[in-house]
Amino acid sequence: MIAIDTVLVKLASRCNLDCDYCYVYRMGDDAWRLQPKLMSERTVEALGRNLSRLVEAQGRPLSLVFHGGEPLLVGATRFAAICAKLREHLPPPVGLHVQTNGVLLSDDVIRACARYDVGISISLDGPSEIHDRHRPDRRGRKSHDAVVAGIGRVLAHPKGRSLLSGLLCVIDLEADPAGVYDFFKSTETPSVDFLYRDGNHDTLPVGKASFLSTEYGDWMVRLLDVYLADDEPIRIRLLDDMMRLILGGRSIKEGVGQDDYGILVVETDGTITKNDTLKSADGADRFAERWSVHDDLAGFVASPLFQEYHRSQRPTAAVCLACPDLKICGGGMPTHRWSAAAGLDNPSVFCADQIRLIGHMREQIATRIAA
């Protein structure tokens, strides 16, 4: 049986921000309009009950991540009630986490996170001049100050430092990597996860001139140099994962390396879909047959439908299968491999970037080992 590691749960199908790169609302797919704005109590109950059975069937815990839209649009009272209900069915070691844009991180929400042991990850793209370029609210107003204030409230809570798992930053190639890194250090976050802008072979990611260009690789190389020069660094998950893979270890999250990850995405009506980012790949995020959290989840995970989707994480392009960097790169996220002509049978659109970054990483590691 495939083990599920992560369940992304959309408590709200809408968002209070209007980010210019959003794969949910800005990629021409309007399926979210058909979803209830908020997840109902009945669906939360079914989710908890059936996930509990899945955990028992697979014999290992998983992490449930509240996602959106913006999950905190449910409001602090309802958020606390949802956490309480899910904890009835899913006690630790099942992990609960919230991935939020941070604007609605009130003291009541933070108290609920502390009470029900819910880790907090906050989306923040760097200093205000970078963040506010991309993440305005729905009226075009800046959101940076509200997010930073939210981080401050989390850290001011007695359990805040253990609740804050980290920040999530979408890369802006025009930003200076050193300035972005210094800013993140100043927030006192324990870690930052950097994401490339979404795109595929038919719609190149913003800032990438061609398949062979290396703008993202160049940016990450500059970030890596700053990171390695810091004696007291904050953790950067993507760089840590890649360096660990180069040294023969394993990654801890999807995106690089060759480990398979079992991920379910749950819409507000309880429907299970594929990874959200596949929305940018011609609506390829939906299963041919509808399954939901009201069904037997172990049965769904064992179904040919899910198994085929799960296998699609693995690269099939001949160039990847023969690539000396495959163990590190992994061939890229499915959404980054997609083209209308060949489906997922392509290398990542970031192939040249990954080769550039991995090459530089290998040199840096070799230099340090030799020193």
In angstroms, what CA-CA distances link 266 with 54, 161, 191, 197, 253?
Answer: 15, 29, 26, 23, 19
Q: What is the residue type of 223?
A: L
Residue 10: which of 74, 59, 58, 62 has the closest Cα? 74
CB of 316 to ligand SF4, least distance (A): 10
CB of 365 to ligand SF4, least distance (A): 17
Contact (Cβ atoms closer than 8 angstroms) between residue 293 and residue 287: no
Task: Give the span between the Cα atoms of 191 and 245, in whole angstroms.
Answer: 19
Q: What is the largest CA-CA distance in the chain?
A: 60
CB of 240 to ligand SF4, least distance (A): 18
Choice between 205 and 347, CB closer to ligand SF4: 347
CB of 197 to ligand SF4, least distance (A): 17
Contacts of 41 (CB under 8 A, 6+ apart): 81, 85
CB of 98 to ligand SF4, least distance (A): 32
Contact (Cβ atoms closer than 8 angstroms) between residue 252 and residue 259: no
Choice between 297 and 317, CB closer to ligand SF4: 317
Instruction: Compute how many other C-beta atoms are within 10 angstroms of the C-beta atom of residue 84.
Output: 12
Choice between 310 and 314, CB closer to ligand SF4: 314
Question: Which tokens is 213 given?
Answer: 């260009």
CB of 95 to ligand SF4, least distance (A): 29
Choice between 96 and 328, CB closer to ligand SF4: 328
CB of 363 to ligand SF4, least distance (A): 16
Choice between 44 and 355, CB closer to ligand SF4: 355
SS (H, E, C) 177-244: HHHHHHHHHHCCCCEEEEECCCCCCCCCCCCCCCCCCCHHHHHHHHHHHHHHHCCCCCEEHHHHHHHH
* DSSP-based helix, strand, coil % in the chain, nearest 5: 45, 15, 45
Choice between 55 and 355, CB closer to ligand SF4: 355
CB of 319 to ligand SF4, least distance (A): 5
Choice between 142 and 327, CB closer to ligand SF4: 327
3-class DSSP assignment, residue 271: strand
Contact (Cβ atoms closer than 8 angstroms) between residue 268 and residue 37: yes
By CB under 6 A, name the binding residues for ligand SF4: 315, 319-320, 323, 325-326, 329, 331-332, 347-348, 351, 354-355
Choice between 269 and 345, CB closer to ligand SF4: 345
What is the dihedral sign for C-alpha 177, 15, 167, 7?
A: negative
